[in-house]
Amino acid sequence: MSGEPARAVAPWTDDTAYRQGVVDLLGIIAYGALTAFERLAEDGRMAADLSDKVHLATMAARQVAHFERVRTHIAGFGVDVMDAMEPFHAAFDAFHSYTRPKDLLEGLLKAYVGDSFAADFYREVAAFVDADTRSLVHEVLADAGHADFVVGKVRDAIEADTKVAGRLALWGRRLVGEALSQAQRVAASRDALTSLLTGTVDRPGMDLAAISRMFTRLVETHARRMSTLGLQS
Amino acid sequence: MSGEPARAVAPWTDDTAYRQGVVDLLGIIAYGALTAFERLAEDGRMAADLSDKVHLATMAARQVAHFERVRTHIAGFGVDVMDAMEPFHAAFDAFHSYTRPKDLLEGLLKAYVGDSFAADFYREVAAFVDADTRSLVHEVLADAGHADFVVGKVRDAIEADTKVAGRLALWGRRLVGEALSQAQRVAASRDALTSLLTGTVDRPGMDLAAISRMFTRLVETHARRMSTLGLQS
């Protein structure tokens, strides 16, 4: 036994602020998975068709598997997932209480548009974390076929009644507006998390111009998704 | 290539009525898993404590995994799980609409007492099916730690307020009463399923005395469970 142990991760993973930022990112993703489970289960309850229920239950179960993987990864940082999620309860719970779907279509759009927007953002942040954490984040955020399901349902609904498109377009704007306002609330209170994006003297990060380009990317991707659904963003 | 193919299953698996009985048994278990998913998710929604929510979400996700395993096994009989479940929608849906939990405790007791009673019965029937099906049934019905969770919660609640015991004991009786009445409805309409238990000229089964002993076993096991919870049955 001689020399230093092999490093699987970047040297700045010893940095306390960095580690706190990663734990924050993972805590958000874990709590996001739990709330996604609840909402998908609720969408399943609203679904009239049994094969839709099966699809939604399957998607919900997958969120629990994601939660478990993130829980294990956070434990590697010496942190309990319950503690890691705690700072984000208020923002998530506020988002969900302001955006309760009135029916299955609104629920489906919320899961698709809201979760995809959040996932895009988490992937942007994950560009600045160690390779193990980054690949975990990408795996748990990968779409598992729910997008196609939602696109099909929303398009069918619009085809059956064109008025649906206007209502869902408004709903999509409201979801993104609420998501951004809760994200700002989180950013303002969690320096370690925002410093993952902005970097520090010792760590790479985005300057203001890069952050502004990132928001442009997020909004453009969102607009593309809405347009795939046949909805204006 | 000579001789007959090796038989992994009993010779009567070619019997149409037998196969229909097995598909019925698996259809019931599959639909039971889906409805258990919904109820556990609903219990999770009622839970105030986040670690309880995580436990209930994990249990719910496991039901989806069970559903998938049963779906695959039924497909081996050339039957789609959606078709296999169809004859049992009415009985399950009636059971659930007559036994809506008013709070988390009632939900927990329903999951524990109701599902355990049903699982005991399915295992009795599974004694008369081929070995592959039997081991699948045993695996998907095995308790995964939910019993301990429920026992802990119910006992805590009784300790905090002894009046709870009377209310939950009544609730337990109502659950079993409704379950038996729906089970009779299913038995009356699914000859292939009941003939798994009673046997045929070519297949072993239970005579009336054995069936009566089976019901005694089911009721005794139920009473033991209630007593573990600190409840009268």
pLDDT one-digit tens code per residue, B18-48:
999 999 999 999 999 999 999 999 999 999 9
DSSP 3-state of B162 = coil
Q: Which residues of chain A fall short of a pLDDT of 70?
A: 1-14
Q: What is the pLDDT of residues B131-178, one digit of tens each?
A: 999 999 999 999 778 889 999 999 999 999 999 999 999 999 999 999
Per-residue model confidence (pLDDT) at position A12: 60
Distance CA A23, CA A71 (A): 10
Helices vs strands, H then E, count in chain A:
11, 0
What number of other Cβ atoms are within 10 A of residue B201's Cβ?
4
Work out the burial of residue A178: count CB atoms within 10 Å of its CB; fewer than 13 is exposed, 13-18 middle, 19 or more buried: middle
Per-residue model confidence (pLDDT) at position B8: 46
Given a contact cutoff of 8 angstroms between Cβ atoms, the answer to whether A165 and A158 are in contact is: yes
Per-residue model confidence (pLDDT) at position B159: 93
Select the residue from B39, B50, B97 to test the A interface by mutation, using most A Cβ atoms within 10 A. Answer: B50
**CA closest to A34 among chain B residues:** B54
DSSP 3-state of A233 = coil
Given a contact cutoff of 8 angstroms between Cβ atoms, the answer to whether B144 and B61 are in contact is: no
Per-residue model confidence (pLDDT) at position A164: 94
Work out the burial of residue B3: count CB atoms within 10 Å of its CB; fewer than 13 is exposed, 13-18 middle, 19 or more buried: exposed
Residues of A near B (Cβ–Cβ under 8 Å) read: 34, 37-38, 41-42, 44-45, 50-51, 53-54, 57-58, 60-65, 67-68, 82, 85, 89
Given a contact cutoff of 8 angstroms between Cβ atoms, the answer to whether B42 and B111 are in contact is: no
Per-residue model confidence (pLDDT) at position A89: 95
Residues of B near A (Cβ–Cβ under 8 Å) read: 34, 37-38, 41-42, 44-45, 50-51, 53-54, 57-58, 60-65, 67-68, 82, 85, 89
The mean of the pLDDT values for chain B is: 90
- Neighbouring residues of A83: CB distance < 8 A, sequence distance ≥ 6: A27
Distance CA A105, CA A144 (A): 19
DSSP 3-state of B91 = helix
CA A88 to chain centre: 13
Per-residue model confidence (pLDDT) at position A2: 44
- Whole-angstrom CA distances from A88 to A190, A193, B199 are 10, 12, 58
**CA closest to A86 among chain B residues:** B50
Distance CA A28, CA A38 (A): 15
**Yes or no, beta carbons of A67 and B53 under 8 Å apart:** no
- Neighbouring residues of B112: CB distance < 8 A, sequence distance ≥ 6: B146, B147, B150, B151, B225, B229
Per-residue model confidence (pLDDT) at position B24: 96
Per-residue pLDDT band for B2 (boundaries 50, 70, 90) equals very low
Distance CA A143, CA A154 (A): 17
Per-residue model confidence (pLDDT) at position A4: 46
Given a contact cutoff of 8 angstroms between Cβ atoms, the answer to whether A41 and A104 are in contact is: no
Chain A residues with beta carbon closer than 8 angstroms to that of B45 = 38, 41-42
Distance CA A99, CA A114 (A): 10
Q: Is the pLDDT of residue B7 over 60?
A: no
Q: Which of B57, B63, B64 is closest, CB to CB, to A34?
A: B57
**Yes or no, beta carbons of A45 and B61 under 8 Å apart:** no
Per-residue model confidence (pLDDT) at position B11: 55
Instruction: For CA atoms B170, B171, B174, B180, give the dihedral sign.
Output: negative
DSSP string, A44-58: HHH--SHHHHHHHHH
Structure tokens at B89: 């929608």
Element (H, E) at A199: none
Per-residue model confidence (pLDDT) at position A10: 56
- pTM over cut 0.90: no
Per-residue pLDDT band for B125 (boundaries 50, 70, 90) equals very high
Per-residue model confidence (pLDDT) at position B207: 86
Distance CA A84, CA A32 (A): 12
**A127-160 b/e (C-beta count within 10 Å ≥ 16 → b):** ebbbeebbebbeebbeeeebbebbbebbeebbee
Q: Which of A45, A62, A89 is closest, CB to CB, to B38?
A: A45
Per-residue model confidence (pLDDT) at position A133: 95
- Whole-angstrom CA distances from B188 to A12, A162, B5, B48, B215 are 69, 47, 37, 41, 17
Given a contact cutoff of 8 angstroms between Cβ atoms, the answer to whether B193 and B205 are in contact is: no
Q: Which domains does chain A have, with CATH numbers?
A: 15-228 (1.20.1260.10)
Element (H, E) at A225: helix A208-228
